[in-house]
C-alpha cells in the first residue's frame, strides 16, 4: 500500500502507546504534525523552545514510565533540544527524538537545515537512524523504541527526510509491534554469594540510585533484614522512602549530611544498586565504598568503573534485588527476626536528622526565608505521593538535604549532565502524565530565567503546577563555590525580574513569600490555586547565607586532592583576600 512516511510514523507511535509529542512544527516536519492532529491517542504539544520540549519528554518517562517523544525540525530544532537530550543520555532516560531531514530526492546542495544531523546526535544518543525508504519507517521507529529501553535506557534519534513525509510511496507490509524488552540473565550463584557476604557484615550499608526505583519494597526488606542504613544518589532520592527510619539522606561521604556520614562511618560491606558512583552522588568522589562492595547495575560498564566490586552482578534491579531479598531471608532465617535489632541505629539516624534540622531552623535568615523552615512547611502541606521537580543549583542540594521524599512520592532532577533550565518544562511533562498528583517545582532564579517562557505552555493546557522560585539575585551555587576559595565572585549576579509582572503577563497566578512569617500562608495559597488548575509562580525570597553540606564537603574534597604546592597557593590566596576584605570594611 502507498502511504506517506508521516502517516507511518504516526501509526508506529500509536502502536507504541505514546501519549504526547513535544516540539515545534516547521517545513521539514509539517506533514507529520498534520498527521498527529488526526490521532485519537496522541496529543502534539507546542512548546516555546525545543530545549523545553526535551525536558518535558524526559519528565514524561521519569514520572510515568511512558516514552517521551520529540518531534522537531532538523538543525536548529535539534541543537536547541540537545541540552535535554544530553541530560537524558547521561541520566539513563529513554527518549525518541524524531526530526525531519533535508530532501533525499534532490541533487542540489545548500538545502535549508543542511547539516549532518547524524553526526550532531551521535555522541548524545544510544543510536541514530536515517530512514531511506518507506518500508523502513515503522520498523525503524519500533527498533529505536527498543534500543532506547534495552540495557541502560537512553535517547535514540530518527531522521526522516522531508520528501518521504510529504509524498506517498509503497510501504510494503507493516510490521507488528513487539513490546517485549529482553533483560540480562540473572546469575543466581552471584546472588547467593552476595547474600552470604552481606549476611556476614558487621556494619552493612545500602547505596541506591535511580536504577533501583522499581524495587523500593524489596530494598526495605533487605535494609531491615540487615539492620543497614540506606543512602541514595541525588537522582535516586525517591528510590528508598525518605520517611523510613533507616533512610539517611543523599550520599554517605564528606558531602553528605551528618546522619549519613555517621551511619556509614564504619560500613564494612556495601550493597550498591542502580548507581554508577558518579561525581555528584559521591561529592566529587569523596564518598568511597568499602572494599567488600556488592554492585548491581543494568550497565556492565558502570560496575567497577570508579570503585572495584567484590561481587559484580550485571542485572536489572527488578530481577536481582527481589532475588537477593529472598536469599538474605534464607541466609538469616535462624529465628532472628526481631526488628528491634536495628532500632538503636534508627534512633541515632533520627536524632542526627533532628539536630540537622534544628541547626537550620536556628540559623538567622534576617528578613529573608529560612530554607529549613520553608522545606519543613512544604513537606507538611504536600501529599506523600507528590512529585518534586528540582532544577540545577544551590536549591537542588537544599532540597536533597531538607526535603524527604516520602513513600510513594517522586523526585525529578537533572543530574549527570547537570543542565540548568530543567524544572519549569519538566513539571509540565510530569503533570501531563500524572494529572491527579501534586506536582511542584523548586527552581533557582537563574534556572528560572532559562526556560521561564514554558509557563505559556502550562497556561495553554491549564496545568495546575507550582514553581517555587528561590530568588536571591545570583547564581548562588557557583557564587558559593567561588567565594570559599577565591573570597570573591565573578559573573554570578543576575539581572532583575519582577516575578509578579512576569506571572501576570503569561497568565499565571502569583504568590510572594518574603519572610518566614509568610511561608505557611504562601504555600497554602499556592497549592490551593494549583489544585484549581492554575500554574503558580511563587517568589520565595530565600536566604542562601548558610551553605549546604554538599557545597562545604565537595569544596573541601577537591582542595584536598590538590598537591601541596597548589593547596598552599589556593589557601593562602583565600586568606590574603579575606584579610584585605576585612581591612577594607574596617
Instruction: Indicate the pLDDT class of residue 337, thresholds 50, 70 and 90.
Output: very low
Residue 258 buriedness (CB in 10 A; 0-12 / 13-18 / 19+): middle
The superfamily CATH assigns to domain 363-549 is: Thiamin diphosphate (ThDP)-binding fold, Pyr/PP domains (3.40.50.970)
Better-scored residue on pLDDT, 228 or 562: 228
> In this structure, what C-alpha cell is assigned to residue 436?
491527579
CA distances 274 to 132, 385, 521, Å, are 38, 22, 39
pLDDT beyond 50 at 335: no
Distance in angstroms (rounded) separating the CA atoms of residues 541 and 250:
25
pLDDT beyond 50 at 580: yes
Mind spelling out the 3-state secondary structure of 478-544? HHHHHHHHHCCCCCCECCCCCHHHHHHHHCCEEEEECCHHHHHHHHHHHHHHHHCCCCEEEEECECC
pLDDT (0 to 100) of residue 70: 98
Residue 437 near residue 387 (C-beta atoms within 8 A): yes
CATH T-level topology, domain 188-348:
Rossmann fold (3.40.50)
pLDDT tens digits, 246-265? 999 999 999 999 999 999 99
pLDDT (0 to 100) of residue 254: 97
Which range among 101-110, 163-172, 412-421, 538-547 shows the weakest confidence by mean pLDDT?
Answer: 101-110
pLDDT (0 to 100) of residue 31: 94
Positive or negative, the CA dihedral 519, 522, 526, 531 is positive
**Percent of the chain predicted with pLDDT > 70:** 98
pLDDT (0 to 100) of residue 331: 67
pLDDT (0 to 100) of residue 115: 84
pLDDT beyond 60 at 245: yes
Buried b (16+ CB within 10 A) or exposed e, 504-536: eebebbbbbbebbebbbebbebbbebbeeebbb
Instruction: Indicate the pLDDT class of residue 555, thresholds 50, 70 and 90.
Output: confident
Instruction: Indicate the pLDDT class of residue 514, thresholds 50, 70 and 90.
Output: very high
> How do 168-170 and 2-4 pair as beta strands?
antiparallel
Instruction: Indicate the pLDDT class of residue 333, thresholds 50, 70 and 90.
Output: low
- Edge-first strand order for the sheet with 269-273 is 247-250, 230-232, 204-208, 269-273, 292-297, 311-314
* Dihedrals phi, psi of 325, to nearest 5 degrees: -60, -40
Contacts (Cβ under 8 Å, ≥6 apart) of 336 = none
pLDDT (0 to 100) of residue 365: 97
Beta strand extents in 255-405 (DSSP E only): 269-273, 292-297, 311-314, 387-390
- What three-state secondary structure class fits 469? strand
pLDDT beyond 60 at 373: yes
Q: What average pLDDT does the segment 514-533 reach?
A: 98
CA distances 340 to 224, 231, 273, Å, are 10, 21, 26
Distance in angstroms (rounded) separating the CA atoms of residues 170 and 189:
52
pLDDT tens digits, 283-312? 999 999 999 999 999 999 999 999 999 999
**Percent of the chain predicted with pLDDT > 90:** 84
Mind spelling out the 3-state secondary structure of 400-466? HHHCCCCCCCEEECCCCCCCCCCHHHHHHHHHHHCCCCCEEEEEEHHHHHHHHHHHHHHHHCCCCCE
Q: What average pLDDT does the segment 82-101 reach?
A: 97
pLDDT (0 to 100) of residue 23: 98
pLDDT beyond 50 at 76: yes
pLDDT tens digits, 481-507? 777 778 888 888 888 899 999 999 999
Q: What average pLDDT does the segment 53-57 reach?
A: 98
Instruction: Indicate the pLDDT class of residue 567, thresholds 50, 70 and 90.
Output: confident
Mind spelling out the 3-state secondary structure of 124-152? CCCEEEECCCHHHHHHHHHHHHHHHHCCC
pLDDT beyond 50 at 28: yes
> In this structure, what C-alpha cell is assigned to residue 546?
548558610
pLDDT tens digits, 117-171? 999 999 999 999 999 999 999 999 999 999 999 999 999 999 999 989 888 888 8
Hey, what long-range contacts does 265-269 have (CB within 8 A, 24 or more apart)? 266/202, 266/203, 267/203, 267/204, 267/205, 267/229, 268/201, 268/202, 268/203, 268/204, 268/292, 269/197, 269/198, 269/200, 269/201, 269/203, 269/204, 269/205, 269/293, 269/294
pLDDT tens digits, 422-439? 999 999 999 999 999 999
Residue 238 near residue 411 (C-beta atoms within 8 A): yes
Q: Which DSSP symbol is given to 365? A: -
Looking at the domain that runs over 2-170, which CATH code has it been given?
Answer: 3.40.50.970
> How do 536-540 and 509-513 pair as beta strands?
parallel
Amino acid at each position: 500500500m502507498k502511504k506517506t512516511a508521516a502517516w507511518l510514523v504516526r501509526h508506529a507511535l500509536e502502536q507504541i502507546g505514546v501519549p504526547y509529542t513535544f516540539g515545534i512544527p516547521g517545513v521539514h516536519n509539517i506533514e507529520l504534525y498534520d498527521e498527529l492532529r488526526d490521532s485519537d491517542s496522541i496529543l502534539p504539544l507546542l512548546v516555546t523552545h525545543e530545549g523545553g520540549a526535551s525536558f518535558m519528554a524526559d519528565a514524561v518517562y521519569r514520572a510515568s514510565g511512558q516514552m517521551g517523544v520529540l518531534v522537531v525540525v532538523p538543525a536548529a530544532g535539534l541543537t536547541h533540544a540537545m541540552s535535554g537530550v544530553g541530560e537524558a543520555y547521561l541520566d539513563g532516560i529513554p527518549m525518541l527524538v524524531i526530526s525531519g531531514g533535508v530532501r533525499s530526492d534532490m541533487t542540489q546542495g545548500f538545502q535549508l537545515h543542511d547539516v549532518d544531523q547524524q553526526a550532531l546526535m551521535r555522541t548524545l544518543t544510544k543510536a541514530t537512524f536515517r530512514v531511506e525508504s518507506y518500508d523502513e519507517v515503522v520498523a525503524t521507529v519500533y527498533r529505536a523504541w527498543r534500543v532506547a529501553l534495552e540495557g541502560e535506557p537512553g535517547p535514540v534519534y530518527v531522521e526522516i527526510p522531508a520528501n518521504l513525509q510529504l509524498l506517498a510511496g509503497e510501504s510494503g507490509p507493516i510490521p507488528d509491534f513487539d513490546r517485549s524488552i529482553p533483560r540480562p540473565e540473572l546469575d543466581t550463584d552471584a546472588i547467593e554469594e552476595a547474600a552470604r557476604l552481606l549476611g556476614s557484615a558487621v556494619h552493612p550499608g545500602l547505596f541506591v540510585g535511580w536504577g533501583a526505583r522499581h524495587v523500593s519494597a524489596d530494598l526495605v526488606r533487605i535494609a531491615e533484614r540487615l539492620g543497614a542504613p540506606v543512602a541514595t544518589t541525588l537522582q535516586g532520592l525517591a528510590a528508598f522512602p525518605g520517611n523510613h527510619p533507616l533512610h539517611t539522606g543523599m550520599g554517605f561521604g564528606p558531602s553528605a549530611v551528618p546522619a549519613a556520614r555517621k551511619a556509614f562511618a564504619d560500613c564494612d560491606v556495601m550493597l550498591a544498586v542502580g548507581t554508577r558512583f558518579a561525581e555528584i552522588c559521591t561529592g566529587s568522589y569523596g564518598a568511597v565504598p568499602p572494599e567488600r562492595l556488592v554492585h548491581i547495575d543494568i550497565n556492565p560498564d558502570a560496575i567497577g568503573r570508579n570503585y572495584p566490586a567484590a561481587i559484580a552482578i550485571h542485572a536489572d534491579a527488578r530481577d536481582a534485588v527481589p532475588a537477593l531479598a529472598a536469599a538474605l531471608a534464607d541466609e538469616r532465617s535462624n529465628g532472628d527476626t526481631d526488628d528491634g535489632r536495628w532500632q538503636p541505629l534508627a534512633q541515632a539516624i533520627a536524632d542526627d536528622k533532628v539536630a540537622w534540622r534544628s541547626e537550620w531552623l536556628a540559623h538567622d535568615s534576617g528578613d529573608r526565608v529560612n530554607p529549613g523552615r520553608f522545606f519543613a512547611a512544604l513537606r507538611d502541606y504536600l501529599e506523600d505521593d507528590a512529585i518534586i521537580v528540582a532544577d540545577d543549583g544551590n536549591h537542588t542540594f537544599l532540597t536533597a538535604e531538607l526535603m524527604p521524599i516520602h513513600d510513594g512520592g517522586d523526585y525529578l532532577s537533572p543530574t549527570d549532565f547537570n543542565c540548568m533550565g530543567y524544572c519549569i518544562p519538566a513539571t509540565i511533562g510530569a503533570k501531563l502524565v500524572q494529572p491527579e498528583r501534586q506536582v511542584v517545582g523548586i527552581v533557582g532564579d537563574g534556572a528560572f530565567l532559562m526556560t521561564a517562557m514554558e509557563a505559556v505552555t502550562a497556561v495553554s493546557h491549564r496545568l495546575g503546577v507550582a514553581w517555587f522560585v528561590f530568588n536571591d539575585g545570583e547564581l548562588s551555587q557557583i557564587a558559593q563555590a567561588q567565594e570559599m576559595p577565591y573570597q570573591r565572585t565573578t559573573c554570578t549576579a543576575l539581572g532583575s525580574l519582577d516575578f509578579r509582572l512576569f506571572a501576570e503577563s503569561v497568565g499565571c497566578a502569583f504568590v510572594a513569600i518574603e519572610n518566614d512569617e509568610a511561608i505557611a500562608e504562601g504555600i497554602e495559597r499556592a497549592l490551593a490555586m494549583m489544585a484549581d488548575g492554575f500554574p503558580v509562580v511563587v517568589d520565595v525570597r530565600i536566604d542562601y547565607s548558610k551553605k549546604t553540606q554538599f557545597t562545604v564537603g565537595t569544596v573541601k574534597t577537591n582542595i584536598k586532592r590538590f598537591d601541596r604546592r597548589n593547596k598552599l597557593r589556593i589557601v593562602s590566596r583565600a586568606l590574603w583576600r579575606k584579610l584585605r576584605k576585612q581591612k577594607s570594611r574596617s
